[in-house]
Structure 1
Amino acid sequence: MVSRSNSPRLIALLAWLVAASVPLAAQTPAPITPLRLSFADAVRLASGEVPVVALATLRTDEADARVRQARAALLPSVSVGGFWLNRSFNSRSIGISFPGIPELIGPFNNYDARFSATQTLFDWSSVRRVRAAGAQADGSRAERGVTVEGSVLTAAVAYVRAVRAQAVVAARQADSAIAAELVGLAEAQRAAGVSPAIDVTRARAQLATAQGLLLVAQNQLDRGRIDVTRALGLDPATPLTLTDSLAPSLGAADVPVQRDSSIAAALASAWTSRMRWYASRRCARPTCAARSRPKWTPPCSIWPPPRRNRRWPASSCGSPRASSASRVSASRPALPATST
């Protein structure tokens, strides 16, 4: 029985426990809803919201700002200035010695306001700086495109690996369920006296193997989800629900990568130069006509067929092997014909 002297202390202790339990209940974290992520969403996030792509975008903006800064030297400049001065001066210090003019003049207020505008007509060094800054900006945009492509590739590969691990987990779960059913069947057959005890042991070993493979597959799935979150710049503890599967309908979203027109023009020019060089080498080859052998040669503007489809003619002027064989046969004397 509790005495009256201890009852206030007990009531205070109970009140403190109730007051302390309220904040603990309020601090209980709410269940986190898993993030539903498809392959297209992963590609879209990797191409625009990843920290690596954001840094590349900032570097591109910085390069564009440097171009504008370099171009500012060629733009007109306008300046406005003004000042106020309260001063006094000695008239003799400036060479004024007229009668009636005091030596000390002032103090008086002096106001001055000026407006000036300048325009650079020609500055070759500034022009070169603008061109250099523009080339640097083009390089920054190209680097951003490469960064976006690398980020998208990393996210796509990580997503496909995670989806594959998810499919492996489903297959291992089915194997475990089948192995459990086989254990039950083996035990029932043993109880009925139809099968020996070794069948039960074998079924249990298969069940243990299936459960071990299931644990390995679940571990790979967890690692795949962590790789996906890292590739997308998310918290690794974020729960993910991969909505796509390993099906032929698995497709990616359009990646908003804008290639620079100057880079595309340079690639096209390089390819055209390579074709012309190959055509010039084709024209410079000695033909069979130069060897006093009639042979049709295609015009130089026609692109030659691939080497795997090219067939050497049967004449000695087409194939090196045929020409060498003909020379060897020509150097040997003819054997006399023998009759049997």
Structure 2
Amino acid sequence: MSAPRLVLLVGLAAWTCVAQEQKALSLSLGKAVEIATAPDGATRVRLAAEQIKAADARRARALGLLRPTVDGSYTFRSFTNNLQAMGISFPSIPGFQIPTLVGPIETSDYRVSATQSLFDLPSIKRYQSSKAQVSAARADNEAQVNQTKGTVAKAYLNALRADAAWNTAQANVALAERLVKQAQSQKTAGTGTGIDITRTEVSLANERQRLIVAQEDRETARLNLLRAMGVNLDVALDLTDPMTYVPAEVPEPAKAVTAARELRPELKAQAERERSAKLSYDAMKYEQLPRVSAFGDYGVLGRATEMLLPTRSAGLSMKLPIFGVNRKDPERAESASLLRQEGIKTHDTAQQVELEIRVAVTALKSAESQVAVAMEALTQSEKELAQAERRYEAGVAIGVEVTDAQARVARSRENNVAAVFKQKSARIDLGVAVGNIDLMLQ
């Protein structure tokens, strides 16, 4: 045995062992969605969760401006003072000189200080705005989960479609092989011709080509499903849900739009963003109002540690902008523009949701009709093939009738798979558009 052949056989044996050790993951549609929407699942879900944490951190920072602050301090001071430098002078006394330099004096100060905002309307509005941003982030997270469920569901359906197309291609190859044998038998019996065999062999070659394409499409669809789920791409899959047609109820667009206004998280998120922009604008508008805070401190003060005496202070502070108020005008103008932009986005989001619903309803209605037509066409084409085979075997028809009928059966099978996939995909799109994707996954 040659060395290259030995290497090839060893490599093939190793690959076979690995393939046998790798157990396929039994995966239903529900399980695929569950894996994708887990905390460590799809990328979009994880990013949305991090956005909630960031928004909550901004809320805590805004709340910190309204909470009391307490500080502890220790100050050691060594100083001297020149009385003359301070403008203090004493009259001359004969025989006695009053010193002008005082010190050095060393003091220690242990102190606790506290401040509390009593009235700060801009900071209150900014805190309320940050809370609205947290609500918007949570709604965005729901939207991302909703979109991820739809993406994974469609990827799963596409993998099912690819499996069905692959099985259909195998069935078409088997049918073509049977017709080749039939043509050969007819020629041997003297009722067929060589051209009949050639036609069936050409059909067989075409079906084998389609089988190769279907195999590639199947592998690609499974990789896309794994990527949508956020798992390793080397996982083998065993899809457990069947690619069967289940009739769907087509809702009225107006009722679906009404339901979406309550269910779609994108609408909730945009409403919260607009509310946040309104509160931010209010904060800028109230910048010229006075701010009131309370302050106080308590501690002990004395020379080093020899004598420490208690001291305290307490009071109220009010700050009222007098000059420089107009410097905030550009910021207020920017805040007003951002508020108007959010209003425009709110209107646009509502229109986009309505568009998605109407398109999904139209697609589902069309898909239901396509499935009905495709199933009828498949039934009729199979009848035509059976009749053509009987006529050919009886010697009252030529082989081209059989190959033509075979081609129509193959295309009808493919059209049926495509129609069922489109119907299921349209149901998923409608569920995402309305916001009740979980009902469509049942």
By how many angstroms is 1:157 displaced?
1.1
In 2: Cα distance, 1:96 partner to 1:82 partner: 34
Cα deviation 1:94-152 (Å, max 9, x = unaligned): 86989899877766753221111222222211111111111222222222222221121
Identify which of 136, 139, 143 aligns with 1:142: 139
Aligned residue type for 1:225: R
Matches within 5 A, 1:98-177: 109-177=106-174
Contact 1:91 1:102 survives alignment (8 Å): no
- Matched residue, 2:80: 89
3-state secondary structure, aligned to 1:74: coil
3-state secondary structure, aligned to 2:70: strand
Contact 1:182 1:203 survives alignment (8 Å): yes
Matches within 5 A, 1:187-198: 187-198=184-195
Aligned residue type for 2:76: W
Aligned residues: CA RMSD: 3.7
Cα deviation 1:34-55 (Å, max 9, x = unaligned): 5443211221233342111211
Note if 1:210 corresponds to 2:232.
no
By how many angstroms is 1:215 displaced?
2.1
3-state secondary structure, aligned to 2:114: strand
Residues 84 and 238 of structure 1, relative CA distance in 2, 3 Å threshold: same
Aligned residue type for 1:40: G
Note if 1:60 corresponds to 2:52.
yes
3-state secondary structure, aligned to 1:245: coil
By how many angstroms is 1:181 displaced?
3.0
Contact 2:83 2:102 survives alignment (8 Å): no
Contact 2:33 2:153 survives alignment (8 Å): yes
Contact 1:88 1:104 survives alignment (8 Å): no
In 2: Cα distance, 1:243 partner to 1:109 partner: 84
Contact 2:177 2:204 survives alignment (8 Å): yes
In 2: Cα distance, 1:203 partner to 1:148 partner: 51
- Matched residue, 2:175: 178
In 1: Cα distance, 2:37 partner to 2:89 partner: 79
In 2: Cα distance, 1:193 partner to 1:101 partner: 146
In 1: Cα distance, 2:184 partner to 2:163 partner: 32
The percent identity for this pair of structures is 34
- Matched residue, 2:69: 77
3-state secondary structure, aligned to 2:37: helix
- Matched residue, 1:326: none
TM-score by length of 1: 0.56
Contact 1:47 1:149 survives alignment (8 Å): no
Q: Highest CA radius of gyration, 1 or 2? A: 1
Contact 2:155 2:225 survives alignment (8 Å): yes
Structure 2 residues not aligned, in runs of 5+: 1-16, 247-262, 272-442
Question: How many residues are paired up?
Answer: 229
Greater percentage in strand: 2
In 2: Cα distance, 1:182 partner to 1:196 partner: 13
Greater percentage in helix: 2
- Matched residue, 1:47: 37
Residues 207 and 112 of structure 1, relative CA distance in 2, 3 Å threshold: same
3-state secondary structure, aligned to 2:214: helix
3-state secondary structure, aligned to 2:119: coil
3-state secondary structure, aligned to 1:142: helix
Identify which of 223, 226, 231 aligns with 1:229: 226
- Matched residue, 2:198: 201
